[in-house]
A and B are shown apart, each in its own frame.
Chain A
Amino acid sequence: MPQRTLRVLVGKPGLDGHDRGAKIIARAFRDAGFEVIYTGLHQTPEQIVTAAIQEDADCIALSILSGAHNTLLPAVSRLLQERSAADIVLFGGGVIPEDDIPGLKAAGICEVFTPGTSTDTIVQWVKDNVAPRP
């Protein structure tokens, strides 16, 4: 039986209004054949996790440029665990200083993409690291 299509939830946590990156990546995911759910702006970690669970997402891609990544990305990771959904692969991108990345990875964010990354690189990473959840 062929594998079903990957479902990706693209989220904008916090108050950050910069959605150019989120929308470009959403479109690149769609063009790569994934099913894409985009949350829109101003989402709390709770809203993002709830949406991911309800929509049966295989992974969550968070875009953040506001500097609140050290608070908001781990909060999403924690909530996924609390709701027994830690198998949803969590990753993100944005203006995130190199120094912060080890801490984020330790908190359960599988990968962090910084400015200048091509959409092809990100799409390939998803293909290599995310499988449809059972």
Chain B
Amino acid sequence: MSITTRKNIWTDGTVARNVAKAPERKEEFRTTSDIEMERCFTPDFELPGYEEKLGFPGEYPFTRGVQPTMYRGRFWTMRQYAGFGTAKESNERYKYLLQAGQTGLSVAFDLPTQMGYDSDAGMSRGEVGKVGVAIDSLADMEVLFDGIPLDKVSTSMTINSTAAILLAMYIAVAEKQGISSDKISGTIQNDILKEYMARGTYIYPPKPSMRIITDIFAYCKDQVPKWNTISISGYHIREAGSSAVQEVAFTLADGIAYVDAAIKAGLDVDEFAPRLTFFFNAHNNLLEEVAKFRAARRMWAKIMKERFKAKNPKSMMLRFHTQTAGCTLTAQQPDNNIMRVTIQALAAVLGGTQSLHTNSRDEALALPTEDSVRIALRTQQVLAYESGVADSIDPLAGSYLVESLTDQIEKAAFDYIDKIDNLGGAVEAISQGFQQKEIQDSAFAYQRAIETNDLVIVGVNKFTIQEPPPAGLLKVKEEVEIFQKQALAEVKAKRDNDKVKATLKKLEETAKGTDNLMPHILEAVKAYATLGEIADVFREVFGKHRETVVL
């Protein structure tokens, strides 16, 4: 069948069905010279392999995008990651962002919350409210989402080891707003494997951690069907220093491990796989990044179809969030970071991301100020509304360069996945330190390249100037810790402590057995058991993870 015939079938079928449900932004899209921007440009000659390698948007192998109309239907979700200090301060920042035109929330939690410690724990000293909002109990979560209707926004939560607890709190807050759990939507990161590999906020050993994750998959498919139960993350792998190929390879290898674990836990692949999402980094090398996103989509589609025999096309779709690369931002001449972020955001859009966070110019110095966050959001809005790149789907397809890079990234990443399979899979390879070593070698080579001037970083090792120390940085007040401890003490004084004890006891028994943990976490949370108390139960039963240090 010719490409043109296939395209007509796609237009009359896949596209028409989609447009009937959700019309495109405009009747037609035209350039300044009145040239029509087609929905999806394709070769007007026969190109062997076109169908298998590229296909059409919204169809297998999804190289050209997961949706049939992509940004002609609706732009990506502009989702800025935010959260600091107390729940009340973060609540104000969320309302500000929503009012500024942001379309989804993304919650940053402080490190104690991510590591399962309450604000009054010894390990929390100095960390409370610093890199995100401090959440000790349901009471904080109620304040965090006060006045934000949870059936109207989708919320992404960057939370991993303690994801089950925060998800339970979110469900409980929604219930208090009169919204049942089948109406809420959002994402929990819930990707523990990259924590062992690159990000560091792990608590328990891999095995029980994987059980918590599969329990979440199983619980959500019935109770919270619109929730994305995991965001399998290459972002942090890249931030830790990996190359683009390693980012894709290690992320998809983790994806394979989660699918394997869920199938072993008795779930049917098509029951949970449509809720899996991914999270990637966008770096400065524009064309390589675009190719990376396209390669990742094609690889995941193949993996799900061929390796896991998924039947539902939704199981094969790699939907992803992108964040621009924090590690490329410089403390020197920080305004230059605005340009870096623009290039990276463009890469994400040309690569077909579903949602995007653009970093702020001052992030190499401190948490971003409100002004910096606004510029970052405006960068996305300029790309969406002014640049025209959102008017035609997968606009770089067919470029010899981009198609070649896409193929080469795919091949190199599959080679890595084979290596990881041979080591016994992602979990086993991580415990041997394989991925960590690979990432560190890349990170070290990158640093050396900067120091030997093989790699130019504008404003750092070339085009430097004398500049005054930056002013007007955001400072998180040290009082947050004191305030948070007081609030926690009040919660503990007011709650029914017998009920807390009973729910924690029940949770402990469940943790020792094999039943799904989620309903019991939800009960404990509703009784105002604290995050630290719940995590302590698991620490007691599951133990703590010790990292494999490889230098």
Hey, which bits of chain A sit against chain B, CB under 8 A?
Answer: 14-20, 23-24, 26-28, 30, 36, 38, 40-42, 44, 66-72, 75, 95, 97-99, 114-116, 118-120
Q: Which residues of A contact B130 (CB under 8 A)?
A: 66-68
**Cα separation A99 to B365 with both chains bound (whole Å):** 11
Which of the listed residues A16, A17, A72, A97 has the most CB atoms from chain B within 10 Å of its own CB? A17
**Cα separation A75 to B123 with both chains bound (whole Å):** 13
Sort A-B residue pairs by CB-CB distance and give the 7 closest, nearest first. A17-B200, A71-B126, A68-B126, A67-B130, A15-B111, A98-B469, A115-B331
Q: Which residues of A contact B241 (CB under 8 A)?
A: 20, 24
Could you count the A-B residue pairs with CB atoms below 8 Å apart for me: how many are there?
A: 111
- CB nearest neighbor in A for B363: A95
Is B478 located at the chain interface by the 8 A CB criterion? Answer: yes
A sample of 28 cross-chain residue pairs with beta-carbon separation below 8 angstroms, ordered by A number, consists of A14-B111, A14-B126, A15-B123, A15-B124, A15-B201, A16-B200, A17-B111, A17-B195, A17-B200, A20-B240, A20-B241, A20-B327, A23-B443, A23-B551, A24-B443, A27-B440, A36-B551, A40-B549, A41-B547, A42-B123, A67-B366, A67-B367, A68-B127, A99-B469, A114-B331, A115-B330, A116-B364, A118-B450
**Cα separation A16 to B236 with both chains bound (whole Å):** 13
Q: Is the CB of A95 within 8 A of B364?
A: yes
Is B239 located at the chain interface by the 8 A CB criterion? Answer: yes
**Cα separation A116 to B124 with both chains bound (whole Å):** 28
- CB nearest neighbor in B for A16: B111
Q: Is the CB of A17 within 8 A of B201?
A: yes
Q: Apart from A19-B240, A44-B123, A68-B125, what are 15 other A-B pairs with CB-CB below 8 Å?
A: A14-B126, A15-B114, A15-B117, A16-B200, A20-B241, A24-B443, A27-B440, A41-B200, A44-B122, A72-B126, A75-B126, A95-B366, A97-B475, A98-B470, A116-B332
Query: Main secondary structure on chain B at its contact with chain A?
Result: loop
What are the interface flags for B461-479 relative to A under an 8 Å C-beta threshold, 1 for contact and 0 otherwise? 0000000011001011010
Q: How far is the CB of A64 from chain B (nearest CB, A)?
A: 9
Q: How far is the CB of A116 from chain B (nearest CB, A)?
A: 5
Q: Is the CB of B366 within 8 A of A97?
A: yes
Q: Which residues of B contact A69 (CB under 8 A)?
A: 126
Is B57 located at the chain interface by the 8 A CB criterion? Answer: no
**Cα separation A44 to B124 with both chains bound (whole Å):** 10
**Cα separation A36 to B440 with both chains bound (whole Å):** 16
Q: Which residues of B contact A71 (CB under 8 A)?
A: 125-127
Is B483 located at the chain interface by the 8 A CB criterion? Answer: no
- CB nearest neighbor in A for B460: A116
Is B447 located at the chain interface by the 8 A CB criterion? Answer: yes
